[in-house]
Structure 1
Amino acid sequence: MIQSKKKWVISRPDEQLVSTFEKELSIPRVCAKVMVSRGYETIEEANKFLHITKDQIHNPFLLNGMEQLVERVHDAIMNEERIMVYGDYDADGITSTTVMMRTLLSLGADVIYKIPNRFIDGYGPSERLFQEAFDEGVKLIITVDNGISGLSQIQFAKDLGMDVIVTDHHEPGDVLPVADIIIHPGLKDTTYPFPYLAGVGVAFKVAHALLDEIPNEYYYLVAIGTVADLVSLTDENRYFVQQGIKQMQKADSVAIEALANVSGVDVSAINEETIGFMFGPRINAVGRLGEAAPGVELFLTEKSNEALAIANMLNDKNKERQAIVKQITDEAIQLVEEAGNIEGPSVIVVGSEGWNPGVLGIVASKLVEKYYRPAIVLGFDKEKQIAKGSARSIEGFHMYKELAKNKDIVPHFGGHPMAAGMTLPLEHVEEFRTRLNAQAKECLTEDQLVPVVLIDVPLEMHEITTEAIESLQKLAPFGMGFAKPVYCIENVEVASARKIGSAQNHVKMELKDGASSLDAIGFGKGELADEISPTAKLSFIGDLQINEWNGRKNPQLMIQDAKSSEWQLFDIRGIRQVNRWLPMISVEKNVFVAFNEATVAHFDTFIKENIWLYTDLIDQQIKSEYVTLLDLPSDESLLNKLLQYHDWTRVYAHFYATDSTYFEGLPSRDQFKWYFSFLSKRKTFALKQHIHELSKHTGWSENTINFMSKVFFELNFVSIDKGMLVLNEHLAKTDLSEAPAYKQRTKQIELEQKLLYAPYIELKQWFEERKAEQTVPEEEQ
């Protein structure tokens, strides 16, 4: 048995509807399965999704306040009023700022921009920067990707005499700021049909309204901010990202060319994953570690050399950010392990002095990934006596609501069900941890502590082709609201599996199902190679990719998880060197069993724990998952009893034997006849003294001669006294098979033939039969 790391929830799409989509839409079956699994029920719906057009872009004037915004901005430009674009320090904020700056500059505005410093100003509007803007002659502030929660700061700006337009997409509170105009797709009284725009999407709408036409040249900026901010890639966001990716692939922007250069990315292959995993982290890095303005400058410049210099700086900052994240993550994991309080429903709360607050959210995410518990990571400021940090959660623990229960000791917090930020007095951290752990026990169950993976595309091996995988691009971009599919292949054979990589921590496999085969790679899953027994059937989930090598394209599964419900037999017979097979076994889950005391003595120098003599183990209540059979029993019934003792999920068969009875065999009737005739002629024979000469004369081994002597003794044909055989005078006619030694040797040879020398398939069948006997209902036995 191989236990999956996550709980699999497999969707089974309606096969008839899949066939209809496949035929009517002329798409591969794989694509049809994805669409049906995602809830598309009609050809019309599916066609609209597959062939999204500019017609799906909504009118920007459906956003409340847009007409007033256009009028106020054009008045400001006409009256030569200075305008400030006030952005945010992440990728969404940086691209939002760029879109708004470029739009206003193209209209001839006197415009500057400011972005808060995470460490000085924190998130959102800043009175310090608003005062600076006022001192620099700003008359109109336009916020992008922030502002909806800056109540006091916007009041401050108004009190200074500046007008404020808020454009934002974050969750609005019960009270809105006193801005002159608010542009937000998610306000309660809005008529806008799509509330899930990113901050840059809202900025794009403003640009559309101000320019009185769709600003197509900004699609790539909208794509970057939309993907990086993890908003829903449905409706018009899907179109924005599709068009933005097409623009980036043409490398019309010096910024994109520079980012691709420092990221080692082929421009023509840019997709949503490039944005999410290559470009986004580099753009975000500057704001995490210091001033985010260079990110805006990268997208504003038209000079290639300047763009490359900035991109290199962003790349260096990202490397610095990665090193900081690794250091803090390692320290956080050490604190978690030392505390040892992650059993059952619980919340991880860790903190330390000197931890960079700009990366604590990333560290919290890594802790959730490792332990699958809600995690809060705090940076301690001993001078100010405060703890400030970020939280990430799991399904079932609404982080914002759980934090709200502690506002008496956490005065400043904000966020969502799955992520939040907070500041609290240092003296309350321990109380905070205690309370959250108590809350976790109330709302989380053990079942919720196992991560769930939703699998919407179970596939047959023959459906997986390079053409089918390439066709999946028809469904891109993938992201929030339309996640990349997780594919499942069930009950297939592993034709081969081997560890790869310098540390041997990855695995490469060939999967087979009938005549179909598929290559598979599992990065960081090298242990699977030791967990798969011959003939075992496994199920896999993962992503499908195309591996191109020497001009040849082949489909490939990138393994995310694997499982098997079958018990497994591992054949380690004949491997004398213990250090060759012992590392393959998870010792803490295994019990090593010997049927002979000499075997325990032989192995206890190599195996330091969980080694048992059969007679001792059978009286204990040890329920390890795996068992290693170190040697052979004297009787098959002992092994049967051991197999009934526990439902082992893995059996490692070693069957160490110093001497093999099977190859020694049973002496023939003619051998027994000759030996008896030999003894009859002499009446007595000094066996101990002359066995070597007899062995040389007959060509029989000394073991064989001793065995036949023992059989004669047990049948009362001879007596033995100090190595001297004496033929008895009165002999009863008795068959050789009546001798206990003869019976035991016969059984031992049969046992060795079944267990020690049988081919793997026959050995597996023998164990299968024993296990089948265990499951027979009592009334049938």
Structure 2
Amino acid sequence: MLRAKTRWQLAAYDNELAELIARECGLAPLVAKLLAIRGIDSPQRAKEFLQAGPELFHDPFALYGMESSVYRIRQAIERKEPICIYGDYDADGVSSTSLMVHLMRRMGAVFDYYIPNRFTEGYGLHKEAMSQIHERGFKLIITVDTGISAVEQVDFAKQLGLDVIVTDHHEPPEVIPEAFAVINPKQPACTYPFDMLAGVGVAFKLAHALLEEPPLDLVDLAALGTIADLVPLVDENRILARLGLQRLNHTRNPGLQALIKVSGLADAEKLTAGHVGFALGPRLNAGGRLETAEAAVKLLTTEDGQEAEEAAQQLDELNRERQELVQKMTDEAISMALEKYPLDENRVLVVAKEGWNVGVVGIVASRLVEKFYRPTIVLGIDPEKGTAKGSARSIAGFDMYEALTACKEWLPHYGGHTMAAGMTLPVDNLEAFRKQLNKLAFEWLTDEDLIPLTKVDVALEMPEITLETAEQLELLAPFGMGNPTPLVLVNDVEASGMRTIGRDDTHLKCSLVKDACQIDAIGFNWAHIVSQVTPKARYQVLGEMSVNEWNGNRKPQITIRDIAVPHRQIFDWRGCRDKLDKWRNLQESSETLTIMFRQESYEELFPVAALGGSTDSLLYLSPNHAANPAARSNVILYDLPKTRSDLAGAVAYLERAERIYCLFGDPDLGLERISCPGREQFKLVYQFFMQVPLVQRIHLDAMARRLKLKRDVLEGMLAVFAELDFITMEEEAIRLNAQAAKRPLDSSRLYMEWKEESELVTELLLSSYDSLVTHFQQQVAATTA
């Protein structure tokens, strides 16, 4: 057995609807099923989803507050009133600000932008900033990606004589700022048909309304913020991402060209949402996380190639610093969680420390969620202010924004979404905050909720994995939140040609085989399972289907995302020469039990195990042993049992094992001694004594040579004869008892034990692998029946 990393949840879908979509749209059955799973309920909607063109944009004036906002902005432009764009320092905020900069330039506005410093000001609108903006002569402020919670700050701006237009996409609080206008598809008064736009998506809609047509030349900026902010890539977000990626692949924006170059993507065949999420977005975020967002905005708005390259290089260097900082903080946060907050007592992890950079706490929180699969909050403590500021990341089943709202008595400032949020609170409130969050988590989350969940689209038979289907899957791109890369499940397959690849042999390459079908598969960072599976294991493989092109050949391929072996595995390591080394490697796991049937083996391993403090993982099945099965996933059979009764005593442990390692059969073991001689060989020895009734012990070697027997085999046969009273064993000699009564060999206990041991050798050591597996299956079945 090999357990999957996560629990798999197979999606349900309407098969009749999928068949209708496939027929009406000319799609492969798999693609039609995936559309149905994604909520597409008609062939017409399927066509719209696949085409995702600009003609499907909603009317921007359907957004509450849009009409008055357009009126006021046009008025300001006509009057040459200075306009301030007030943004945010993350990738969405930077993209939003940059899009508005390009828009204001085009419209001939008098404008500038302002982005608060994460470290000295923090997120959102600030009264000090409002005062500065007023003093500089601005009359109108347009916020992007921020402002929905800034009730006091907007009131203060109004008192100064500033008009404020809030454009935002975050969850609105109970009280919304009394601004000149508020554009947020989530606000209660808004009936816009799509409420999951990113901040840059809202800014794009404002530009759409002001220009009276979608600003398609700015759609690459909209795609950057939309993908980086992890909003669902459906409806208008899908249109923005799809059109934006198309433009990004041919961009003439000097800043984007420089960013693509420093990210190592200049030679990429095609830029995807993955490239934005894992390469471009992090670099745009890096400035705001470590310094200011100035370099990122400059990069996306400059028309000077040299300035763009310098800004891109600066962001790339900051991103490397960010990566090192994140790793250091992650290591510290993991250690703190393990030492102070046991997982059985903490269903939400809240870790805080002085000196932690608040610019990267969100990334660290994500890393802890990946490791512990618990909702996590990571905070940096400012000892001078006595405050803790941080970010939260959640898991399915735990609405972080709702949880923070339930704890608002300890939170002067917070905001965010279901899966991510930010907050600031007094250090003195931390413990009460932690306790209340955990109280909620124990009420809201079940034990199963704390096992990572992977949503699987469909289970496929191997013949369904074709090149045509793999090619059609690209029609569903771009993939991301709300439109994840399709995950398919193939069951009961074997893996042939399994090998490790890559510079450090960390990746896995093989072919999945079932009946007459064979599909190539690759698993990045899956090389570790090679030592955990047997050659004839049958797998359940969860993966992504794609097209692999090599030397002009195009074939379907599965990229492994998770893998399981649902049956007990038996590892055939019989007779290996590195037996002790293999045992040591397996012994490192706390889930390993070593069973020995022979005292000499126990005496050999006990001192070694004692050095590692793991003697409780050794089990010597002595004849008087009372079975007390331990639930261990790995069981090592270190040596051969002497009797079937001995083997039966081990079955209670084997039936609970997921993996059985057969390490018995030492290559230096004398099989001739274990192999019981036949009756004819016993007859020859007896005939020898009939000819030589008295044999001196010093002549036993010569006797063995004459009879063509090993010395220890001969001694075993003599012991049997002595038990039957055929011979007398004297100190110096062995004498034939000529008058001894005839007795069958079967009446000798020693002979029967020897014979039984010999049969076990044949069944366990000299058999084929298939016979060995069958033998253990029968043993377990017979005992548990």
- Above 0.5 in TM-score? yes
What secondary structure is seen at the aligned counterpart in 2 of 1:3?
A: coil
> After superposition, where does 1:695-774 map in structure 2 within 5 Å?
695-774=704-783
- Shift of the 75–21 alpha-carbon distance from structure 1 to 2, 3 Å rule, reads closer
> After superposition, where does 1:179-328 map in structure 2 within 5 Å?
179-265=179-265, 266=267, 268-328=269-329
Equivalent position amino acid for 1:689 in 2: I
- Shift of the 418–665 alpha-carbon distance from structure 1 to 2, 3 Å rule, reads closer
Aligned partner of 1:32 in structure 2 is 32
* Alpha-carbon separation, structure 2, partners of 1:16 and 1:179: 50
Residue pair 1:37, 1:456 contacting (<8 A) in 2 also: yes
- Shift of the 468–606 alpha-carbon distance from structure 1 to 2, 3 Å rule, reads farther
Cα shift readout 1:537-587 (whole Å, capped 9, x = no counterpart): 111213234444444444333322222221111111111321145424663
* Alpha-carbon separation, structure 2, partners of 1:675 and 1:541: 63
2:613 is aligned with 1:603: no
Q: Once the 2 structures are TM-superposed, how far is the Cα of residue 344 of structure 1 from its aligned partner?
A: 5.1
Cα shift readout 1:345-381 (whole Å, capped 9, x = no counterpart): 5221211111111111111111111001121211111
Residue pair 1:346, 1:437 contacting (<8 A) in 2 also: yes
Cα shift readout 1:615-649 (whole Å, capped 9, x = no counterpart): 37634453322211111111122212321355222
Q: Once the 2 structures are TM-superposed, how far is the Cα of residue 668 of structure 1 from its aligned partner?
A: 4.9
Cα shift readout 1:200-226 (whole Å, capped 9, x = no counterpart): 222222212222222221111111111
What secondary structure is seen at the aligned counterpart in 1 of 2:374?
A: coil
RMSD (Å), alpha carbons: 2.3
Aligned partner of 1:592 in structure 2 is 594
TM-score (norm 2): 0.94
* Alpha-carbon separation, structure 2, partners of 1:318 and 1:236: 30
Greater shift after overlay, 610-619 or 717-726? 610-619
Equivalent position amino acid for 1:74 in 2: R
What secondary structure is seen at the aligned counterpart in 2 of 1:391?
A: strand
Q: Once the 2 structures are TM-superposed, how far is the Cα of residue 323 of structure 1 from its aligned partner?
A: 1.2
* Alpha-carbon separation, structure 1, partners of 2:303 and 2:565: 56
* Alpha-carbon separation, structure 1, partners of 2:597 and 2:133: 85
2:623 is aligned with 1:622: no
What secondary structure is seen at the aligned counterpart in 1 of 2:520?
A: strand
Residue pair 1:575, 1:581 contacting (<8 A) in 2 also: no
* Alpha-carbon separation, structure 2, partners of 1:205 and 1:319: 34
Residue pair 2:493, 2:538 contacting (<8 A) in 1 also: yes
For structure 1, which runs of at least 5 residues remain unmatched after alignment? 777-781
Equivalent position amino acid for 2:33 in 1: K
Out of 638, 643, 659, the position equivalent to 1:650 is: 659
* Alpha-carbon separation, structure 2, partners of 1:405 and 1:216: 42
Residue pair 1:249, 1:267 contacting (<8 A) in 2 also: no
Q: Once the 2 structures are TM-superposed, how far is the Cα of residue 532 of structure 1 from its aligned partner?
A: 0.9
Q: Once the 2 structures are TM-superposed, how far is the Cα of residue 37 of structure 1 from its aligned partner?
A: 2.5
TM-score (norm 1): 0.94
Equivalent position amino acid for 2:301 in 1: L
* Alpha-carbon separation, structure 2, partners of 1:7 and 1:586: 26
Equivalent position amino acid for 2:619 in 1: W
- Shift of the 643–357 alpha-carbon distance from structure 1 to 2, 3 Å rule, reads same
2:683 is aligned with 1:683: no
Aligned partner of 1:357 in structure 2 is 358
Q: Once the 2 structures are TM-superposed, how far is the Cα of residue 666 of structure 1 from its aligned partner?
A: 4.3
Equivalent position amino acid for 1:741 in 2: L
> After superposition, where does 1:210-609 map in structure 2 within 5 Å?
210-265=210-265, 266=267, 268-343=269-344, 345-501=346-502, 503-577=504-578, 578-584=580-586, 587-608=589-610, 609=614
Residue pair 2:95, 2:222 contacting (<8 A) in 1 also: yes
* Alpha-carbon separation, structure 1, partners of 2:56 and 2:318: 38
Equivalent position amino acid for 1:371 in 2: F
What secondary structure is seen at the aligned counterpart in 2 of 1:424?
A: strand
Greater shift after overlay, 522-531 or 624-633? 522-531
Cα shift readout 1:701-739 (whole Å, capped 9, x = no counterpart): 223332332232222222222142222242323333433
Aligned partner of 2:644 in structure 1 is 636
What secondary structure is seen at the aligned counterpart in 2 of 1:341?
A: coil
What secondary structure is seen at the aligned counterpart in 2 of 1:587?
A: coil
- Shift of the 758–14 alpha-carbon distance from structure 1 to 2, 3 Å rule, reads farther
Q: Once the 2 structures are TM-superposed, how far is the Cα of residue 45 of structure 1 from its aligned partner?
A: 2.8
Residue pair 1:661, 1:745 contacting (<8 A) in 2 also: no
Q: Once the 2 structures are TM-superposed, how far is the Cα of residue 692 of structure 1 from its aligned partner?
A: 1.8
- Shift of the 671–662 alpha-carbon distance from structure 1 to 2, 3 Å rule, reads closer
Out of 692, 698, 705, the position equivalent to 2:701 is: 692
What secondary structure is seen at the aligned counterpart in 1 of 2:333?
A: helix
2:660 is aligned with 1:659: no
Identical positions, percent: 40
* Alpha-carbon separation, structure 1, partners of 2:217 and 2:544: 33
- Shift of the 641–509 alpha-carbon distance from structure 1 to 2, 3 Å rule, reads same
Equivalent position amino acid for 2:160 in 1: L
What is the total number of aligned residue pairs between the two structures? 775
- Shift of the 167–665 alpha-carbon distance from structure 1 to 2, 3 Å rule, reads closer
* Alpha-carbon separation, structure 2, partners of 1:132 and 1:305: 31
Equivalent position amino acid for 1:25 in 2: C
- Shift of the 507–57 alpha-carbon distance from structure 1 to 2, 3 Å rule, reads same
* Alpha-carbon separation, structure 2, partners of 1:586 and 1:377: 32
For structure 2, which runs of at least 5 residues remain unmatched after alignment? none
